[in-house]
Amino acid sequence: MEFSSRTRQKHLRLAGDRRELYPHSLQFYLEPPTESISLVEFESFAIDRLRLLKVVENLGVSYVRSTDSYKTKLENELRKLKFPYRALAEDDYEARRKDHISHFILRLAYCQSEDLRRWFLQQEMDLFRYRFSQLTDGLMQKFLEHVNLSFEAVSEDLKTELANELCASTPGLSLPKVKEQMFYKVGLADAVDLFRTRRVFVKDGFAYVPFKEIDAIVLNNYRTKLSKALALTARSLPSIQSDERLQPLLNHLSHSYVGPDYSVQKNTGKISLEQIDSLSVKSFPLCMRQLHKALRDSHHLRHGGRMQYGLFLKGIGLTLEQALEFWKKEFIRGKVDADKFDKGYAYSIRHSYGKEGKRTDYTPYSCMKIIMSNPPSQGDYHGCPFRHSDPELLKQKLQSYKIPPSGITQILELVKGMHYQLACQKYFELTHEVDDIGFSLNHPNQYFTESQRLLSGGREPKKELSTSGNSQQKNNSQESMNLNSTPTSSNTTADTELEGLEAYFTED
Amino acid sequence: MAPFEPAALPELLPVFYRRLFPHGPYGRWLGYGGVVKNYFQLREFSFTLRDDVYVRFQSFSSPQELERELQKINPYKIDIGAVYSHRPNQHNTVRPGAFQPQEKELVFDIDMTDYDDVRTCCSSADICSKCWTLMTIAVRVIDRALTEDLGMRHRLWVYSGRRGVHCWVCDDAVRKWSPALRAATVEYLTLVKGRADTVKKVNLSYPVHPFIRRSVAVVEKYFEEYALVGQDILGSPESWDKVLALVPEEHREALQGEFPRRKDSVQRWEVLRGRMERTRGRGAAPCYADWEIMLQFCFPRLDINVSKGVGHLLKSPFSVHPKTGRISVPLDLQTLDQFDPFAVPTITSLCHELDTAGSDGEQEDVGETEPKRRARDYKRTSLAPYVRVFEQFVEGMESARRGERLRRSDIQGDF
């Protein structure tokens, strides 16, 4: 008999050996992966899952979850990103493995704060809910047995005795239906929602749940387990954060922007300074329009505003010379004399173009970065207006920009739900008079590019194109997968293996 | 007998904590048989001292230490909090975020002021023997649900000292319940919904859940005496208009016409009830307005915030009420219907009783130790029966624990 040590098992990577790990396309993610994976795979799995969860979030806000459009779109995304999408698929091993590993990687990134945990939990639950609903009855039964959620079935005799009570307690179940359906005795903690709303019969500390409500129970169970697991992983935070292999990757994953970084200016020099005023009204996202207006009005912007707006302008194609001219002209009108400008502000502009100091060519800020870091204070105009402005003031501003009242209401609703980028998408739709923005907004420069494309007739405005969403994604995967200014450790090679991460997921 | 004067508390409290407070059974209760290590040491207590000084996160290494501290500090009021992850009195030494409440009894607080919209005899802090029935009904309704529906065994009902009742559910499993499950329980037990300006607060539809049906059955037993005779809710056109506002339009007019022809609330109610029952017998469009009225006037109103949080503090049994001087005594469910909140001993009356008992010249055993004598002091006062109820409650839990141990050792074959 072979005594295989744990280390040896970890290195076994013949695909056939591991298939038994994933008997179902769905899982509760109870056991962390124990294999070693390469840094490249680690990163790409994580990014793909993050993309998936963001789509889950967007779809959840834009569509009712049980509708066909929701289901189709989600299935498309799952298929595209190579996650398990069909419950019956037999040769799903690679997808299931990716599903397993990517979930655990994101746990490391998203356990770090209450907000992150809440977001991750919500999206994972929605994803699970969809995948569970796709199972056939037979597969569902098998899955429940697999995760030890086979609740005690109520005997026929007991059911007959309680028939009237069961019928009166369970909405939608007439007496004949009660007789034909299976009922299960479920502990109150597992059936919280049904218990709370009095939609089940409750006796002696148990809820009597009909088979058709079992998915709510399973979902609840999943939520509880994942919530606990996240809290547990959070306790390993100090060691996670000091792990040199992970720290640069995870640090930005939860704040990451997973698209083009607009540092490569393909349209450099194609914008003239005279155009900026009109462009700010037509094609700038609200944050940049606001910054531009503030600059024109007060002939000055503070540091946060200069960075956010300055880098944006670089991203839309302003050359260094144009930028210097632009800022200088404006600041001089604000009583900054030319000398002072050249000595101070000019240096800083050259710096952000990578021409000074350590010559880092700074990349324009993504929406995520603008929303989540460096909130504006009194006298600042940077940040995301949907996130940082007082809703009343935001409303007035939108009114002054002639946005129709119904549109303003929709925007404010999204803001209330904390969907800032979706609010900006709505702003795009209203200012460009299209029904569907056609892409997922993640970056102010993306807003600008798409707007220009639309206005120059490069795209069909009124039809909802799923392909334009796809092409955006293709762009993302073809371009470098650089997380915003993420330095990967110069010591690691692409083949470096990551081992021993499962310690972060287990209780000692 | 002298009435209670809050100003006298500094003198009375030392006597209370030395000779009246039932430290023995109290410690046995909160020790929970010593099954879980350090359970008592991790429990938070909070004290209200004179001049409204309030101190939280008190904890003690043993019931004996608690007793000594109570006798030293003589707090005006004692609150019981949760069992924490670390000793509450050391919570400042713990990494922020690591100090968390772990377990606590499931508690309910029913307060008479929440019924102001349906009481005509009193309002806000006042209570009288007429409206006290509402508390009786509340205890009966909730207790039935806790035992029959939720399978809970160890419940302690306590008079709050002024205008309400508390319930402490002490089952092992329940003490571990999450805030979500506690909140869900309150929702399950809630039928009266709405703010001050909502007219109709109870709305039932077919089919009616067994919980509601069984609760109505309990309320029915008290309704005539309480609402029809005591509160006389159908006694005059003004009062019956308020009730008829809860009845659907199609029935209102007929009842408006019929009511003046009857002589009292009891008869008028019979008309209303009969009419509703007939709609239910007919099968089509059943109307539950009679049940809805009964529930709106009598069904318990719980404060979800008290029950939801694991860390929430609640007044301890046998604590003194600083405004009324009454002791928060346990309720005997067997004699619940005869309970009179105005007959509950106050700290003044108890101390007076002690003085009288002492001066009766009862021969004290010379050899008897001081603590033993003190322990029997409360027995000479009207506090005795209440302590007996408390002891029975604690003994109930202890016997259940013994039974569980026996069962486990039988299974494991340990002898």
Highest mean pLDDT: which range of A70-84, A172-186, A199-213 = A199-213
Gap between the Cα atoms of B235 and B242, Å rounded: 11
Q: Is the peptide bond before B207 cis (omega within 30 degrees of 0)?
A: yes
Exposure of A479 in the CB half-sphere (CA atoms within 13 A): 16
Q: Is the pLDDT of residue A253 over 80?
A: no
| Other CB atoms within 10 Å distance of the CB of residue B109 | 19
The dihedrals phi and psi of B165, each to the nearest 5 degrees, come to: -135, 155
Whole-number Å distance between alpha carbons of B304 and A243: 44
Crossing angle (nearest 10°) for helices A420-432 and A444-455: 20
List beta partners, residue B164. Answer: B111
Give the per-residue pLDDT at A486: 33
**CA distance readout (Å), B235 to B73, B120, B238, B262:** 53, 12, 8, 10
Nearest 10 degrees: CA dihedral of B284, B289, B294, B297?
160
pLDDT > 70: percent of chain A: 81
**Which chain B residues are closer than 8 Å to A197 by Cβ?**
187
Determine contact: A197 vs chain B, CB below 8 A. yes
Contact list in B for residue A175 (CB cut-off 8 A) is none
Domain B6-188+301-412 is of which CATH architecture?
Alpha-Beta Complex (3.90)
Q: State the pLDDT at residue A326.
A: 93
DSSP annotation string for B113-173? GGGGGG-SS--TT---HHHHHHHHHHHHHHHHIIIIIT----EEEEE-SSSEEEEEE--HH
The reply to whether residue A197 touches residue B177, judged by beta carbons under 8 angstroms, is no
**Is A208 in CB contact (< 8 Å) with chain B?**
no
Confidence of residue A9 (pLDDT cuts 50, 70, 90): very low
**Chain B, nearest residue to A196 by Cα:** B184
Q: How far apart are CA B141 and CA B215, in angstroms?
A: 6
Confirm or deny that A111 is annotated as ligand binding: no
Domain boundaries, chain B: 6-188+301-412, 206-298
Q: Give the whole-angstrom CA distance, residue A440 versus residue A470.
A: 10
Phi, psi angles (nearest 5°) of residue B168: -115, 115
- Residue A241 and residue A214 in contact, taking contact as beta carbons nearer than 8 Å: no
CB proximity A487 to B under 8 Å: no
Give the active site residues of B.
44, 109, 111
Q: Residue A301 class from Cβ within 10 Å (0-12 exposed, 13-18 middle, 19+ buried)?
A: buried
* CA–CA gap between residue A98 and residue A79 (Å, rounded): 12
Is residue A470 helix, strand or coil? helix
Name the fold adopted by A24-143+221-254.
Answer: Transcription Elongation Factor S-II; Chain A (1.20.930)
Instruction: Tell if the pTM clears 0.80, that is, is over it.
Output: no
d(CA B246, CA B243): 6
Average pLDDT of span A129-155: 81
Residue A255 has pLDDT above 70, yes or no: no
CB < 8 Å to B208, chain A: 168
Instruction: Name which residue leads in pLDDT, A28 or A285.
Output: A285
What per-residue confidence (pLDDT) applies to A149? Answer: 75
Lowest mean pLDDT among A266-275, A380-389, B47-56, B228-237: A266-275
A321: closest CA among A269, A358, A363, A362?
A269
Residue A460: how many other CB atoms lie within 10 Å: 12
Query: Residue B266 corresponds to which tokens in the numbers above?
Result: 């009891």
Residues 6+ apart with CB under 8 A from B100: B84, B85
**What is the reported pLDDT for A471?**
34
**Looking at the predicted structure, is the pLDDT value of residue A134 above 90?**
no
Enter the DSSP assignment of A344.
Answer: I
Q: Is A167 annotated as a binding residue?
A: no
A188 at interface of B, judged by CB pairs closer than 8 A: yes
Kindly tell me the sign of the dihedral angle through the C-alpha atoms of B155, B111, B186, B99.
Answer: negative
**Chain A residue with minimal CA distance to B149?**
A203
| pLDDT score of B194 | 87
Select from A168, A202, A203 the Cβ nearest to the Cβ of B208: A168
Q: Is the pLDDT of residue A484 over 80?
A: no
Q: Which residues of A touch B187 (CB under 8 A)?
A: 196-197
Position A259 scores a pLDDT of: 56
Query: In 3D, which of A449, A182, A164 has the Cα closest to residue B213?
Result: A164
User: What are residue A302's phi and psi, to 5 degrees?
Assistant: -75, 175
Question: What pLDDT shows up at residue A473?
Answer: 35
Q: Which residue has the tokens 């994580």?
A: A46
In this predicted structure, the answer to whether residue A498 has a pLDDT above a threshold of 80 is no
Both tokens assigned to A244: 């040199």
Residue A202 burial (C-beta neighbours within 10 Å; 0-12, 13-18, 19+) = buried
Please, where in chain A does CATH 1.20.930.80 lie?
A: 24-143+221-254
Residue B55, beta-bridge partner list: B47
- The Cα A441–Cα B3 span in angstroms is 73
| B296: amino acid identity, one letter | Q
List the single residue in A168, A196, A206 with the smallest CB-CB distance to B184: A196
A45 Cβ under 8 Å from any chain B Cβ: no
**Residue numbers in B near A167 (CB within 8 A):** 207
Residue A13: pLDDT above 50?
no
**What is the least distance, in Å, from the CA of B191 to any CA of chain A?**
11
A167, A197, A205: residue with CB nearest B150: A205
The ipTM, to two decimals, is: 0.91
* pLDDT confidence band for A37 (50 / 70 / 90): confident
pLDDT (tens digit per residue) in A300-348: 999 999 999 999 999 998 989 999 999 999 998 888 888 888 888 888 8
- Give residue A262's pLDDT: 66
Measured in whole angstroms, the distance separating CA B67 from the mean position of its chain's CA atoms is 24
Burial A90-118 (b: 16+ CB within 10 A, else e): eebbebbbbbbbbbbbbbbbbbbeeebbe
Contact check, Cβ <8 Å, B184/A195: yes
**Cα(A110)–Cα(A104) distance, integer angstroms:** 10
How far apart are the CA of B78 and the nearest CA of chain A, in angstroms? 31
pLDDT of the residue at B414: 61
Residue-wise burial string across B248-273, b where 16 or more C-beta atoms lie within 10 A, e elsewhere:
eeebeeebeeebeeeeebeebbebbb
The pLDDT profile of chain B, 415 residues, written as one tens digit per residue, is: 578 889 999 999 999 999 999 999 999 999 999 999 999 999 999 999 999 999 999 999 999 999 999 999 999 999 999 999 999 999 999 988 889 999 999 999 999 989 988 888 888 778 888 889 999 999 999 999 999 999 999 999 999 999 999 999 999 999 999 999 999 999 999 999 988 888 999 999 889 999 999 999 999 999 999 999 999 999 999 999 999 999 999 999 999 999 999 999 999 999 999 999 999 887 678 999 999 999 999 999 999 999 999 999 999 999 999 999 999 999 999 999 999 999 999 999 999 998 887 655 444 555 556 666 655 688 889 999 999 999 999 999 999 999 988 888 888 776 5
Burial of B189 (0-12, 13-18, 19+ CB in 10 A): buried
